Structure 1
Amino acid sequence: MRGLPVASALDSAQMASFERVVDRQAQRLVRSLTSIFLDEQLAADAVQDAFIQLYKHWGEVTAKGDPDPWLYRVAVNRASDYRRALTRASRLFQRLVKTAPADPVCVDWVPRAEFMSMLSQLPTRQRTAAALYYEADLSVAEIARVMEISEGAVNSHLHRARMALRKILEAT
């Protein structure tokens, strides 16, 4: 893909150094992030992503010195990104509950994977509008510009998406 860096293979010495960092930091980093975010799975996912980024940028990162501070910063940032996404998904379901007609469904929190699965069941325009609204926190006006449709059409797509998500949620 254009614009994405391609990871170059590490030579054997670099690979050995990388593996030492993984061995030394993986569990410690997961424990640290779990303490910060109170979610071990989120922490493990963030750490895995951080190690992937470290591998991709090994030469550049190690040229500046110890990779540990960089690794921690990337892992914390990834975990923060994941937490924000989960919060947005939770807000979506809170809005569904508030805007739904009779028989409200009580939802405190839905795992991101489940939310993404539900979102994937929507038609493309509804899914796009909902993702931009709930995931990217764009306003209706901003979504209209992105999708090149009127604000009324955005509101219509969002309403239909909410109703479809509510039905999916009730069926589970």
Structure 2
Amino acid sequence: MAAASALVSRKLPRLLSLGRRMLNDPAEAEDVAQETLIRTWKQAPTWVAGKARIDTWMHRVALNLCYDRLRRRKDNVSPDEVEIIDETDGPSVQLEQAQTASALQKALAQLPERQRTAITLNYFQEMSNIEAAATMGVSIEALESLLARARRTLRVLMSEQTEIPGKTGVKR
């Protein structure tokens, strides 16, 4: 029981974070994290140390569960439902942060699934390129290519979302 408790306390926050970023739904993220932990517990007796890192395996399971849920969805979560506010800042800073978070969420939702996954694992899950590549089952070069394409696309999408209509080159 102590080992299970330690595993949950160490891994749950990152699994929840991955689920939230991929699914934009805290309840679904909790379901994914819980299912990942259950599968880990069930597979524990057959685990072979040294064959793969438990972190990589757990993130792969969570990622696959997220993909399954995304495939089953008929409609996307509206970026308006995502609210990220830092209460220590003033209202104008909060508004700007909320607008930036909303624009980023919209831009991330427009990325192809593999690019969004690469960005999520690398930036939001703070995985190294090696860990993210292993989690996605691709080479490091393929991951770096996905990241480069995703960054370029995000740059364009973010700049398009911050332009004032009718005025070229003017940003809000």
Normalised by the length of structure 2, the TM-score is: 0.39
Structure with max Cα Rg: 1
